[in-house]
Amino acid sequence: MSINEQTLPPASAIEARALAWRHWLWLVTAAIDGLVVMVTVALVALSYHLQAYGQVPPDQITLELASMLAAIFVFINALRGRYQLANYLSAKGQMASAFSVWNITMVVFVAILFLTKIVDHYSRAVILASYLSGIPVIALARSTMVRTISLASKTGRITSERIFLIGREPDVMSFVSRHQPWNVGFSIVDVAFLRSNDARRINDPAAALAADLTNAVANCRAKRPDAVFIALPWSDQETIDACIDAFMNLPVAIHLTPEKIMDRFRTPHIVRTGDLSSLRLTRPPLSSAAIALKRIFDVVAASLILVLAMPLLLIVAILIRLDSPGSILFRQRRYGFNQEAFRILKFRTMSADDDGSVIVQAKLNDPRVTNVGRMLRRYNIDELPQLINVLKGQMSLVGPRPHALAHDIAFEQKIALYARRHNVKPGITGWAQVNGLRGETDTDEKMAKRIAFDHWYIDNWSFWLDIAILFRTLLSKKAFMNAR
């Protein structure tokens, strides 16, 4: 199938409607956001007043409250550029963004009430209930809008941008097959192939390139696209410069299509430092502020848990001492942040105390596990001494679980990017563990799956994700699966 068969623009009437939707979509999405907030507040006020007072709420006060919250919510979304079509083509980050804006909305609203001295004008119960009800309602509405708009863009009903492609045929076809631009709402109005390196025209490649560009510019001017995409290897600087010079005379945006290396990375970013510009492919998993927030939470929470759990720790220590000979605590070398080795602390649950170049993992019904140790491992109580590792800064409450050095060395040679899990501090619990991936990793496939969950955690870290993992560690059945 040729590129034109895949990407020919839709019929003129459909294209006109698609373009019209592009120009008015911001207004539609803003109106839906405002309507969702107003309806939520109105229903909450109605339910509360009927239950508390047996009558409907005053129309004017309810309308004022609903209108103010809706206006603030829409205004903040607009300031953050959330009503651009590109923001509705992927579900990634939508829920977090909506929740963040809703929180800011309530803070701004309360500040307005305080500054204007009308705190008592509105029911505090209605405001609180509206905030709590708004969280799932706004999330559901935003999710529905994203699914609807994304589907419409893929089927050509909404066009985000009309683009003109130029480049040598293999490069253009590679870009189109890899990225399928119609799936993000792009409408390809035309394609121009450069033939300047054709063997039949090799006698004067500069003249051939100039002729190709003259024809391409004339065709592009007639098609009136929003943007021109130059599909050429970035190393072909001379040809790229010629294309840029040619299309600079047209009122269009000019893009370079991404090199294949960029397909590996989710958010490559142009970084400018003084006069130096660079393409940043990756960034540290956590910003300085995030590292500080995570550390503060770790210290406060670990200290509190240690104090509250002290009676339990003493009882467990006594039981271990009475159950079998040996030390109460088990120490083993593990890799921490940036592959810096440390000694992890656990309650001893086995008769063995391995920390060499060969370590046999615990198996189901392993005879080395003591009677008390089996109970400790079943309920994750053996991990509690690692709170000391957390306070020492060697671990975090949440992060990829550290493995014995011998296992790390072995799996690093078998699983691609295995060591990337050390880009954050290891945790007492983690995303893989609350999803049931714990216990023996007797096959490379099991370990690869666990590493995939660790990488997902690193790429999607947030403070609230850590909180959710901690709750699931305590409450989810999966967190207790596969204990050995």
pLDDT digits (tens, 9 = 90+) for 298-353: 999 999 999 999 999 999 999 998 888 888 898 988 999 998 999 999 998 887 66
Q: What is the mean pLDDT of residues 43-71?
A: 88
Give the residue, 8 or 385, on which the prediction is more confident.
Answer: 385
How far is it, in rounded angstroms, from Cα 228 to Cα 246? Answer: 11
Here the tokens at position 465 are 């994700």
DSSP β-bridge partners for residue 270? 279
Closest C-alpha among 191, 194, 193, 195 to residue 164: 191
Q: Quote the pLDDT of residue 275.
A: 85
Mean pLDDT score across all residues of the chain: 84
Neighbours of 116 (CB within 10 A): 9
Q: Quote the pLDDT of residue 201.
A: 53
Here the tokens at position 459 are 């790429």
Q: Quote the pLDDT of residue 214.
A: 93
- Those residues whose C-beta lies under 8 Å from the C-beta of residue 10, and which sit 6 or more positions away, are 18, 156, 187
How far is it, in rounded angstroms, from Cα 437 to Cα 456? Answer: 14
Q: What is the mean pLDDT of residues 38-47?
A: 92
Q: Quote the pLDDT of residue 362.
A: 61
Look at 180-184, 223-227, 479-483 and tell me which has the smallest mean pLDDT.
479-483
How far is it, in rounded angstroms, from Cα 470 to Cα 454? Answer: 15
How far is it, in rounded angstroms, from Cα 320 to Cα 411? Answer: 32
| Percentage with pLDDT > 90 across the chain | 39
Q: What is the mean pLDDT of residues 170-185?
A: 87
* Residue pLDDT, tens place only, 84-102: 777 777 777 677 788 889 9
Q: Residue 4 — very low, low, confident or very high, per pLDDT cuts 50/70/90?
A: very low
pLDDT exceeds 90 at position 447: no
10 Å CB burial of residue 392 (0-12, 13-18, 19+) is: exposed
How far is it, in rounded angstroms, from Cα 129 to Cα 44? Answer: 7
Q: What is the mean pLDDT of residues 376-401?
A: 92
How far is it, in rounded angstroms, from Cα 429 to Cα 471? Answer: 11
Q: Quote the pLDDT of residue 7.
A: 44
Q: Residue 394 — very low, low, confident or very high, per pLDDT cuts 50/70/90?
A: very high
DSSP β-bridge partners for residue 188? 163
* Residue pLDDT, tens place only, 407-431: 788 888 888 788 888 999 999 999 9
How far is it, in rounded angstroms, from Cα 190 to Cα 329? Answer: 70
In terms of CATH architecture, what is 161-280?
3-Layer(aba) Sandwich (3.40)
How far is it, in rounded angstroms, from Cα 167 to Cα 243? Answer: 9
Q: Residue 439 — very low, low, confident or very high, per pLDDT cuts 50/70/90?
A: low
- Those residues whose C-beta lies under 8 Å from the C-beta of residue 81, and which sit 6 or more positions away, are 87
**Delimiting residues of CATH 3.40.50 domain(s) in the chain:** 161-280
